[in-house]
A and B are shown apart, each in its own frame.
Chain A
């Protein structure tokens, strides 16, 4: 098994029958790289000189055996990336483990209100219930309010970003003139790149003030956070759906127009269905952004962890999974930190799950569109 892998890697880098020189150069380069990696862990003092040796060897190899060295470098880059991500994941799960063993199912404690345990989708039959849900000093942590806050904020954001994003993409791809599109498309992409704290701050200052004045609410609510996050996810949804729509072949639109369909009918019955896999990917990507959004949410919702009462109250506020981490990691005790790692694991699982779902949806729709040969 291992030997076949090495053989394959060797084949990929060196080709069928490598020359003596290539073998030596690549071998030396690999050796020095491995040595420098080992040094980082075992003898950090020597790491820099050995790394320099690797750079020199590789630079010389580049001049004599460029193709082989280039292939080696691409392989090294890939391995480093995969390794880093894997290690981070492992570390995350490892760090969350103590909290899992210490609290177990209590991490999902459902709050007890005056009228009894809070209705939470009948889950109080399986999950524990408790008076306090978040009290680091007493060592009581329930992630239920955080999860629920994340769900609410993401839902509001999705309700904003999905329809507006798809309609915006339709306008850019199908309705706008060439000139207009050339102006809007880059604009939207710039919006997608604005740092999220800017949105969070604007949301906090402008929307909060507006809601406080107009609705006599005390502000800082899920609604505002959801609005702001939805607007942040909007450019991503627009830009990815627009790409999907403009990759629908014009021949199909021509075909539809030649049948006497109006441009709205072509849009509705040809372009959107044909681009549906890309559009759903765009929405899921946007939702993923909304879930993972930290800074804006943290700025708006504050650090309180409390149950939402009543459950669907958009004007209530509580930290989400992400903003709880952002608020607490600096000042938390050891045991709180462990719980925050559990929140991290949950986010990881949710976002990974969404990405799997999006790929599944995309593949399914594509298969449907291309016919089952």
Chain B
């Protein structure tokens, strides 16, 4: 399907150092359910199923079952199962290289774009299997949007950045033909641009220069533009990979407010390295630890105040990671 070439993961550099440790552990790791992988500073313990067995009342938006990912021989994600509730914020935390980005990319099949990646397991969106061979990737990625770690606006005007998705999906026609047949959607586009930018709390800063190039915006504005761009296709789920990692505290807090607001209508899954951020904005938190295992998954308050796992407690209190 995708013939894109090359490593498409922008985080890979940062993970290089953890690569070797994961490799060396592979030999030692045999069982999957009762793994004992550790890094220096981690105490040994067995992962119990009930730690990740988070129950909630609303229907699950996404449900992941026995998800495994290999990069070549590197087993990056091990038997992850979790259900993500609708209209909430789910935070994914864990030390660098534990597979958070990998997991996130599995949810909208962006891992398909990485040649070396092999994925096994099941992910269901509203009960529909997304790894079904007949899945329409365009449709899927329309429903599950993604915001990347470093802002990646297109080298186009702010307006064109926002209308890119809808235009590609044929919802906005501004071509010559459309104009000839009097079906020019400029008005619809203007509306969409304004709504998306307002939702992303960027409208006031850019409304007088929508035709300027998006690359001329500041990093924080670019990231909010990427969020707006993602909202413009009206997804149901929004995946965010450390969206604030390159931003200053003020821009970060704007994004955090935004995420909290978004959770009223959307299902947000967000990777973060910042524990306070996870505690502030998320409803439930999943902790991944070295070796690509999901160790604990529960209400955010529970995870931060009274985790079951000793390793999670150590990680949260900053003993390692």
- Do A and B pair up? The answer is yes
Query: A-side interface residues toward B, CB under 8 Å?
Result: 173-178, 181, 249-263, 265, 269-270, 273-274, 368-373
> In chain B, what residue has the closest Cβ to A175?
B3
Q: Residue among A176, A255, A274 with the most chain B CB within 10 A?
A: A255
**Chain A residues closer than 8 Å to B3, beta-carbon distance:** 174-177, 263
Bitwise, B200-229 to A at CB < 8 A (1) or not (0) is 000000000000111111000000001001
Asked whether A371 and B154 contact (CB < 8 A) given A257-B113, A260-B141, the answer is no
- Is the beta-carbon distance between B148 and A255 smaller than 8 angstroms? yes
- Is the beta-carbon distance between A372 and B156 smaller than 8 angstroms? no
- Is the beta-carbon distance between A260 and B213 smaller than 8 angstroms? no
Q: Residue among A177, A258, A274 with the most chain B CB within 10 A?
A: A258
**Chain A residues closer than 8 Å to B141, beta-carbon distance:** 257-260
Taking a contact as CB atoms closer than 8 A, the residue among A176, A258, A270, A371 that contacts B146 in the complex is A258
- Is the beta-carbon distance between A255 and B165 smaller than 8 angstroms? no
Asked whether A371 and B212 contact (CB < 8 A) given A254-B152, A273-B155, the answer is yes
Bitwise, B1-15 to A at CB < 8 A (1) or not (0) is 111111110100000
Bitwise, B140-167 to A at CB < 8 A (1) or not (0) is 1110011010101111100000001100
Q: Would you call B273 an interface residue if the criterion is a C-beta within 8 Å of the partner chain's C-beta atoms? A: no
Taking a contact as CB atoms closer than 8 A, the residue among B6, B154, B226 that contacts A270 in the complex is B154
- Is the beta-carbon distance between A260 and B168 smaller than 8 angstroms? yes
- Is the beta-carbon distance between A260 and B113 smaller than 8 angstroms? no
**Chain B residues closer than 8 Å to A373, beta-carbon distance:** 216
- Is the beta-carbon distance between A177 and B138 smaller than 8 angstroms? no
**Chain B residues closer than 8 Å to A368, beta-carbon distance:** 213
- Is the beta-carbon distance between A260 and B226 smaller than 8 angstroms? no
Q: Would you call B172 an interface residue if the criterion is a C-beta within 8 Å of the partner chain's C-beta atoms? A: no
Taking a contact as CB atoms closer than 8 A, the residue among A261, A262, A369 that contacts B165 in the complex is A261
- Is the beta-carbon distance between A269 and B168 smaller than 8 angstroms? yes
Q: Would you call B169 an interface residue if the criterion is a C-beta within 8 Å of the partner chain's C-beta atoms? A: yes
Q: Would you call B230 an interface residue if the criterion is a C-beta within 8 Å of the partner chain's C-beta atoms? A: yes
Classify the secondary structure of A's interface with B. Answer: helix
Taking a contact as CB atoms closer than 8 A, the residue among A263, A265, A370 that contacts B4 in the complex is A263
**Chain A residues closer than 8 Å to B146, beta-carbon distance:** 258
Asked whether A258 and B110 contact (CB < 8 A) given A270-B154, A274-B155, the answer is yes
Q: Would you call B90 an interface residue if the criterion is a C-beta within 8 Å of the partner chain's C-beta atoms? A: no
**Chain B residues closer than 8 Å to A260, beta-carbon distance:** 137-142, 165, 168-169, 233
- Is the beta-carbon distance between A251 and B155 smaller than 8 angstroms? no
With A and B bound together, what is the CA distance between A369 and B160 in angstroms? 13
Q: Residue among B4, B8, B165, B226 with the most chain A CB within 10 A?
A: B4
With A and B bound together, what is the CA distance between A17 and B152 in angstroms? 48
**Chain A residues closer than 8 Å to B216, beta-carbon distance:** 370-373
Q: Would you call B108 an interface residue if the criterion is a C-beta within 8 Å of the partner chain's C-beta atoms? A: yes
**Chain B residues closer than 8 Å to A254, beta-carbon distance:** 8, 10, 110, 113, 148, 152
Q: Residue among B6, B212, B233 with the most chain A CB within 10 A?
A: B6
Q: Would you call B61 an interface residue if the criterion is a C-beta within 8 Å of the partner chain's C-beta atoms? A: no
What's the least CB distance linking B193 to chain A, in Å? Answer: 15
With A and B bound together, what is the CA distance between A370 and B217 in angstroms? 10
**Chain B residues closer than 8 Å to A269, beta-carbon distance:** 154, 164, 168
- Is the beta-carbon distance between B4 and A257 smaller than 8 angstroms? yes
- Is the beta-carbon distance between B156 and A273 smaller than 8 angstroms? yes
What's the least CB distance linking B219 to chain A, in Å? Answer: 13
Q: Which 10 A-B pairs have the closest CB atoms?
A: A371-B216, A371-B213, A260-B141, A251-B152, A258-B146, A259-B165, A371-B215, A260-B142, A369-B155, A255-B152
Q: Would you call B75 an interface residue if the criterion is a C-beta within 8 Å of the partner chain's C-beta atoms? A: no
What's the least CB distance linking A114 to chain B, in Å? Answer: 46
* Given A250-B7, A256-B164, A258-B146, 11 additional A-B pairs, CB 8 A: A174-B4, A177-B3, A250-B6, A250-B10, A254-B10, A259-B165, A269-B154, A270-B154, A370-B155, A370-B215, A372-B212
